Amino acid sequence: MKSRSKSRRLWTALGIFAELLFTVAAICALYVVWQMWWTGVQSEHTQYNQRQSVSWSDPSKALSSSKGVKIAKAQDGTPPIQPQSANHGDLVAQIYIPRFGDQWQRNIVQGTDMTALNQHGMGHYTDSQMPGQIGNFAAAGHRNGYGQPLGDVDKMQVGDPIVLRTKDYWYVYTYTSFKIVTPDHVEVVAPNPENPTEAPTERMITLTTCEPKYSTPTHRWITYGKLKYWAKVSDGVPQELTHLGQNGKVQFINNQKESPFAKLPSLIPVILALLVMYLVLFIAAAIAWRWPLRRAIKAGDVRKPDPSIYGGLTRLQPGIKGIRILLVLLLLLAAAFAILQWACPWAASNIPILHQMSNYVAVTS
């Protein structure tokens, strides 16, 4: 009997230890989800709101006709420079790279601090040139997390279009080359990156991001392109950003729709909805079925159940087994979203190794 009792206690302890390991693993997985997904959703939400705050036209509705969206004519002559200047955080341009997918689109704001890169898509190096200007329009973006705008930069091929859109103009660049350098090679964003001591003669675009992708970034991946042509937004959409739809009409490749979660400023409404659902179901189950323990006592079955974290949580719920499991799932979902909302940002802000890996800055607006 003693041997059986010791064996039972051992298996009980192992079961609880396994549950604790599972909980820790789930929390770690949630941190990865937060870093790889939710930070991107928050960035998408901020970018969408910023686009709505400016009076830029919708490209998908540009000069629509019976044949669909009109293709903008490539313009000759010196490109206009727009904007002439910008304050920190201002929307400078939107960028489209079809190689990354039809729906790929990011904002480029003035400045390359972590707030700009984490929350606003991509950032324009303030000392580099503006779109259309002779020299080098240089922008930075994350390779990982926060929507990973340049996560697939290694998939680009020579000749791929890189399209900038400002309020009134399109600037269509062609991808030419890349290089991998250490962070001290600041000449990559100079007006003439190939010959930094000489005056620029071309209109270039440079995109910088971290390398390698999924570990501590020790280098920078530098992407270069050269201006092919410019066009007026009022004339339509560049051919590089169109395709033929199923109806045979020319369509803008990007429908500019947000993901459902991106419409939320935070996960608090989701957490509250889950808790309300839990509370309503809990009260209904308590009235209809009451608690299993109470029924067991009434039936004379008062055997002590084996200790278990999740089993104990389930036994605390009222109702039949299926209802109790559903109640626990609602609680766990609410807890998971609460971890994404509060625990993960706290960890990224206060645990040095996580802060170094995530470059997280708290949302201030």
Q: pLDDT tens digit string along 56-91?
A: 998 877 666 667 889 999 998 999 999 999 999 999
pLDDT of residue 301: 53
DSSP 8-state symbol, 214? S
User: Can you tell me the distance from the alpha carbon of 151 to that of 43, in angstroms, rounded to the nearest whole number?
Assistant: 15
How far does CA 121 lie from the centroid of its chain?
A: 9
Question: Residue 350: its pLDDT value, please?
Answer: 93
**Can you give the pLDDT at residue 214?**
83
* Among the listed residues 311, 273, 270, the one whose alpha carbon sits nearest the alpha carbon of residue 293: 311
Q: What is the pLDDT of residue 2?
A: 58
Q: How far is CA 41 from the centre of its chain?
A: 5
Q: What are phi and psi of 175, to 5 degrees?
A: -65, 130
* pLDDT average, residue stretch 116-140: 97
pLDDT tens column, 235-259: 999 999 998 887 888 889 887 777 8
User: What's the average model confidence in pLDDT over 99-112?
Assistant: 96
Task: Collect all residues with Cβ–Cβ distance below 8 Å to 291 and sequence separation of at least 6.
Answer: 316, 317, 318
Task: Please state, rounded to an integer, the average pLDDT across all residues of the chain.
Answer: 90
Residue 338 has pLDDT above 60, yes or no: yes
Q: pLDDT digits over 150-187, tens only? A: 999 999 999 999 999 999 999 999 999 999 999 999 99
pLDDT value at 45 more than 80: yes
Average pLDDT over every residue of 10-14? 83
Predicted confidence band of residue 365 (pLDDT cuts 50, 70, 90): very low
CB contact at 8 A, 51 and 94? yes
CA 319 to chain centre: 40
Find the mean pLDDT for residues 269-280.
Answer: 97
More confident residue, 1 or 84: 84
pTM exceeding 0.85: yes
The more confidently predicted of residues 10 and 325 is 325
Convert the pLDDT of each residue in 92-105 to its tens digit.
Answer: 999 999 999 999 99
- Rounded Cα gap, residues 126 and 144, in angstroms: 23
CA 210, CA 226: separation in Å to the nearest integer? 22
Q: Kindly state the average pLDDT of the residues 328-346.
A: 97
- Specify whether the CB–CB gap between 139 and 29 falls below 8 A: no
- Rounded distance between C-alpha atoms, residue 358 and residue 261, angstroms: 21
Report the distance separating Cα 94 and Cα 47, nearest Å.
Answer: 10
Asked whether residue 303 carries a pLDDT value surpassing 60, the answer given is no
Would the pLDDT of 4 be above 70? Answer: no
> pLDDT tens-digit profile of 191-220?
999 999 999 999 999 999 999 988 888 999
Number of separate helices (H) and strands (E) present in the chain: 9, 10
So what's the architecture of 57-259 in CATH?
Beta Barrel (2.40)
Domain limits of the chain?
Answer: 2-45+266-358, 57-259
Helices (H), the chain: 2-33, 39-53, 114-119, 268-288, 292-298, 309-315, 321-338, 344-350, 352-358
Residue in the structure block whose two tokens are 């390359």: 112
pLDDT at 119: 94
pLDDT of res. 294: 56
Residue 197 vs residues 50, 180, 190, 194: alpha-carbon distances, Å? 37, 21, 9, 9
Q: How do residues 349-364 score in pLDDT, each as one tens digit?
A: 999 988 888 888 876 4
Contacts within 8 Å (CB) and 24+ apart, 178-187: 178/153, 178/221, 178/222, 178/223, 178/224, 179/222, 179/224, 180/211, 180/219, 180/220, 180/221, 180/222, 181/219, 181/220, 181/222, 182/218, 182/219, 182/220, 183/219, 183/220, 185/220
Sign of CA dihedral 115, 116, 117, 118: positive
